[in-house]
Structure 1
């Protein structure tokens, strides 16, 4: 009898909250929805599949799972559900972004350097609607793994994380935070060591050799893990044929257009000049796109980090206020020096986006990320929202842009059965936005509640909590 009473009591208590997960007070202060039963009514939905926006919809969330979704008239709202009026609002899937970092540039004199943003960035990513992210290279992988663990345990505020290992690179660029392999024999050791530690993907960098990549791909694939790359010494074509899973930055760093390119050699300036000189309708890009699709090589676009200065915000997405004052000053000074002097960058930026649309329209798997590095104008959270805007500005529909930033990312991570779309049976990873994205894509900045596993977090409160802190921690 006592056993039956205990089971009954357990069931009653479990129905009062989404799960038995405990949150620290530091996390709880951002949670505005903590109920096992939620109904968002009369809302517009962009479901992440690329289908047209649907109006007058109701979503029922039960125990962290989407229990029902459909027309208002067809969905019965359960008794005791927490009702949220979605009138004049839009729901999208939680963003699944695949080129994120936990660090931010902190250059010194003529040195490029980066600093870990252990506390500000996870919170900003979630504030910006990112419910799942992949770090595309770590400088402190142990820190990233700890942050992932503590977020999962409810001790820190942030998205679900797929952690990439440290950059696999040979010495070339003098970036003090990078480790460098001494030869191909180091690659397998590095992959297997960090796979044992819990990383879920690997990233190769500018100065690797073909043999380095071959070993990396073989060892990672043995363990069911994937390899991505920001390449220069290898062309996209070479890497795709070797078996790389993903190429970073679209075609912005491609060395495929260099005439008589030296094998395993990186000259980024020559590669950039060749890219600039390549005509928009160059037969080589059509051939390359076809090859990448044939080989099932995904592409991650990171448009914010390449966004031109002229005619654009100082910090894309409106994130200038997130920076510590000294960083705001440096970014503004650099912006003022460069603005109206970046015509070649504008042309390269626009050409890359047009080529990416061709890749997507032909059936390639296009995913998105932000890469908060470069000149320091890319800030977590703000940049994720801005990414959606840029995609729409470059010719994608808002429905396509949301799909690229949600379902496509989930497909790449092989998690599309659980996340990536607003669909019955999937995790309640959703974003409630004030306004219509169809009428004005910039309403992506009007996020109100970010649901992760059914818990609703206050977007504005998370953004405000770390205002003026980026660059410090």
Structure 2
């Protein structure tokens, strides 16, 4: 009889687990706003991530972790047991899929920076900022990133789904934490080592040779991993011909226009100068874009990390509230110095140049994804910068439907996840953002996120952000 009771209890517990989905630790549960077998979002405005027109007065039904119905208000059958959320005056978009993120922060130090892992803040902040899937485009502590990914998947930590990249593949450079290749070390063994550990993407960096990149791509593709690169020594055209999948930072890292560029030579100052006065109508620029499209190369646009200083926020997206006071004071000092410098006016011109170029590439049919890259001068931080990125896409001239698609479905397509996430469609995972306000009329409403649904579980955005208030930099 006792064995029968235990068996029945086990079946009941299993049934409850299946009914309510994934189980979470107390550290995660306190941020969950809604978790129910069936949830209905009623009378919302939908920007679905496909690039199609915005739809008003819509109902969405979530069953378990999936979207099971979408339709006009009152025409969708909603189960009587469903948990109802009144969406009047609110917008729903897909959860962001961001492809240039990091779990480390560029902590400034005497004109340079040290990459410091934000183990306890960044994963939370990314989810609070609407990111339900992200790629770490280069890891400083790859083992830590893998562990965080696993803890999130196990329901023990708050954060997005993570595609973990290798450490930056770099032979030499000014940032000691980034160099990872030495002498005649086997690139193939290096790639396989990280693939065996569970890394799923590869990041090439500034100082490598064409032969290095050729071997990196061959070894990565053999393990079914894609390769992205923030390049310098290798031109975009050369990388495309070698078979690279992705190039970082729009066209701001393209060394293709340096007069008389020497093979395998990296000079970032020459890149900046060559691009500064490059005419948008230069036929060689158009030919490069056409070549990248022909070679199926995706470009990651990262405007937040290049957001100019003067007349703009100290921390893009309003993230100053998250920073520890000592760190905010330091960043404010850097901001005050650079906002009135000649370098900022040059940076502003470069920033606007790349906005036009990425818009042109997109209009030609080029594949564009986005990310924030929390490095640079220390102003770019998780979550807040992702929201700011959507505003910058609008500043670049994209329509709201285009901006959302670039930030969601395009990234899902690149990661080969589009059957599961990236758009609001029946059968896909319920990775959604509920926003207070009409986003199609006021892009600043992107900062009014209320609930972030990840696989059908709704997390309270404000509560997560509040939990890290004043703590960034204390990790």
Q: Which category of TM-score, normalised to the shorter sequence, fits these structures?
A: over 0.9
Aligned to 2:74: 73
Partner of 1:13: 16
Q: Does the 8 A contact of 1:27 with 1:156 survive in 2?
A: yes
Q: How far did residue 16 of structure 1 move?
A: 4.0
Q: What secondary structure does 1:258 align onto?
A: coil
1:108 deviates by: 2.8
1:219-368 to 2 correspondence within 5 Å?
219-341=219-341, 342-368=344-370
Relative distance call for 1:97 and 1:184 in structure 2 (3 A) is farther
Matched, 1:161 2:162: yes
Shift of 1:334: 1.1
What corresponds to 1:390 in structure 2?
A: 392
> Which shifted more, 354-363 or 428-437?
354-363
Normalized against structure 2, the TM-score is what? 0.96
Instruction: Give the CA RMSD over aligned residues.
Output: 1.7
Partner of 2:28: 27
Distance 1:452 1:331 in 2: 33
In the aligned structure 2, how far is the partner of 1:130 from the partner of 1:172?
31
Aligned with residue 441 of structure 1, among 428, 440, 443 = 443
Report the Cα offset of residue 385 of structure 1: 0.5
In 1, Cα distance between the equivalents of 2:15 and 2:122? Answer: 37
Does residue 202 (structure 1) correspond to residue 193 (structure 2)? The answer is no
Aligned partner of 2:182 in structure 1 is 182
SS across alignment from 1:195: helix
Distance 1:177 1:6, change over 3 A: same
1:9 Cα deviation from its structure 2 partner: 4.2
Q: Is the 8 A contact 2:17 2:23 kept in 1?
A: no
Structure 1 residues 269, 456: CA separation in 2 closer, same or farther (over 3 Å shift)?
same
Query: What stretches of structure 1 of length at least 5 have no aligned partner?
Result: none
> Matched residues in 1 for 2:134 and 2:372: separation?
11
Q: Is the 8 A contact 1:168 1:205 kept in 2?
A: yes
Q: Deviations over 1:110-155 (max 9, x none)?
A: 5431100011000000000000000000000000000000000011
Question: C-alpha distance in 1, partners of 2:450/2:352?
Answer: 31
Counterparts of 1:35 and 1:318 in 2: how far apart (Å)?
A: 32
Whether the aligned pair in 2 keeps the contact of 1:232 and 1:255 (CA below 8 Å) is yes
Superposed displacement of residue 176, structure 1: 2.3
Preserved CA contact (<8 Å) 1:449 1:458:
yes
- Count of residues in Structure 1 that have an aligned counterpart in Structure 2: 470
Offset at residue 172 of structure 1 (A): 2.3
SS in 1 for 2:109: coil
CA contact (8 A) 1:229 1:246 kept: yes
SS of 1:355's equivalent in the other structure is helix
Instruction: Verify the 8 A CA contact 2:19 2:64 in the aligned structure 1.
Output: no
* C-alpha separation in 1, matches of 2:156 and 2:202: 26
8 Å CA contact 1:323, 1:469 repeated in 2: yes
On the 8 A contact 2:173/2:179 being kept in 1, the answer is no
Q: Which residue of 1 aligns with 2:63?
A: 62
Query: Matched residue of 2:173: which SS?
Result: coil
> Separation in 2 of the partners of 1:207 and 1:13?
53
Does the Cα contact within 8 Å between 1:319 and 1:379 map onto a contact in 2? yes
**Displacement of 1:189 after TM fit?**
1.5
Distance in 2 (CA, whole Å) between partners of 1:185 and 1:31 is: 47
